[in-house]
Amino acid sequence: MPRLTDRARRDLEALPEPLRSHARALCERLDAEPSLGKKLQGRLQWIRSARLGTGHRILYKVDAPGITVLAIRPRRDAYR
């Protein structure tokens, strides 16, 4: 499992159970495949975004020690 920021940990716990288990599985998959999500552009160019279902996004960054999940947010709020 990649490292989770405090915000990502709170976001994960706030998800309904079926989505939470899917989010955990996707986070583990990101550890093995860091290029799974797309690179963002503009002021968020150092962040990648992976789709979690149709309405949520996992925002993460790839750095030297590994993957750090920054947030797990609804799509409408993810990029603010």
Contact 72, 2 (CB under 8 A): no
Q: How confident is the model at residue 11 (pLDDT cuts 50, 70, 90)?
A: very high
If we measure between CA atoms, which residue out of 53, 47, 55, 54 comes closest to residue 71? 47
Residue 1 has pLDDT above 80, yes or no: no
Q: How confident is the model at residue 60 (pLDDT cuts 50, 70, 90)?
A: very high
Q: What is the pLDDT of residues 34-46, one digit of tens each?
A: 889 999 999 999 9
Q: Quote the CA–CA distance of 14 and 37 in Å, as a whole number.
A: 22
Q: Quote the CA–CA distance of 18 and 41 in Å, as a whole number.
A: 30
Q: What structural domains does the chain harbor?
A: 3-75 (3.30.2310.20)
Amino acid residing at 18: P
Q: Quote the CA–CA distance of 39 and 52 in Å, as a whole number.
A: 15
